[in-house]
Amino acid sequence: MEKNELITEILKKEIVKALGCTEVGLIGYTVAKAKPDDVYSIKEIKIILDKGTFKNAYSVGVPNTGKFGILPAVVGGLLGNKENDLEIFKDIKYDEELEEFIKDKLKIEVIDSEVYCKVYIEADKTYESETKGSHSGKVIDETLKEAYKNLTLKDFIDYLDDIPKDVINLIKETININNNLSIPEVSEDFINLNINDDILNNMVKKTVSGVYNRMIGVNKPAMAIAGSGNMGLVSTLPIIAYDEINNKDEEKLIKSITLSSLTTIYSTYYSSYISSMCGCVNRGGIGAVSGLSYYIHYNEENIINYIEESIKSFTANLTGIICDGGKIGCALKIASGVFGIYLSLFSKVPYNNGIVGKNFEECIKNIGKIGKSMKSVDDAIIEILKSKEL
């Protein structure tokens, strides 16, 4: 497959609309695929989840329920239409009686796996469904992923010279949907911050607001990138915020968001869709740094050098922040991430520093190695979550 054709196919598969945290969406969608006609005939629901899905769904808001966590995601799935996929909670009217009926019938098992959710429902018979490999169950062929991992930063930048019309439309939709999720602005009783730098102030407030709104379950979709809505927000909103304060140049914005999406996906393929390391900061941050550096140095001959220097600085700074699940507190991690993104645009760290790579590709590979080495961290996090008395 020709390089640009491969890039286009990957973008179309990895940028998808999702309502609420993708992990509760995964649970709700899988439940909806298995539910009986009469939900009050249910005797037991058993859900088997991978570690990442369990921790990301444990404390996060579920749209149209006013509640947080796995139980309302299950109830929402029983109320939802499976045809809505990862927008499973769209248009549901939450049923407190159904929650009360279901809560003692719900059993959860956590396994070591990539993205995975299996549901068994005992009613008049056994109903079951499974979603694995991705949040939607639509798995990208490994040969395509491997081919994509062999691309270079130059390949991505060359792609920007002639972006296909359907990809431009996808990126425009991503900009509009993710920007809309940053409204309303995050409440001051959560974070009261006024930075004396208009660009950074706008970047932090817009990105934190988008993530906060998503984590409390605001009834607005996000465009997820590489399996994560928050990663989609982090890889787009800082660039959108920068564009608002500066030129409002649509062509530059579209190209910068496209590059950010490409490098976010590339980083994910060298790590995993859900990991012990915070993907929103580490992988979404890589995307935002790439896109912002491209935006700032647009049309300069040595643009690759500028982008790589920024990536090196970002690699030296925040790599290793843990993922302890989807929750309101993610918005604070993202605030730290945006500071790190901004700082990396104006700093230089040499190659001999720690895990910094000699170029873009090596930085990504090194971050991926660190993420995979942290796998056992999930066990400690899940143990802590299970010990909580809520």
Catalytic residues: 21
Q: Does an H or E element contain 16, and which? A: strand 15-19
Count of beta carbons in the 10 Å neighbourhood of residue 225: 30
Q: How many CA atoms lie within 13 A of 22 on its CB side?
A: 28
DSSP codes of every residue in 203-239: HHHHHHHHHHHHHTT-S-EEEEETTBHHHHHHTTHHH
Q: Does an H or E element contain 109, and which? A: strand 106-111
CA distance between the termini of the chain = 51
Q: How many CA atoms lie within 13 A of 149 on its CB side?
A: 16
With CA atoms as reference, report the closest residue to 23 among 73, 77, 68, 72: 73
3-state class (DSSP) for residue 114: coil
* Pair 266, 259: CB distance under 8 Å: no
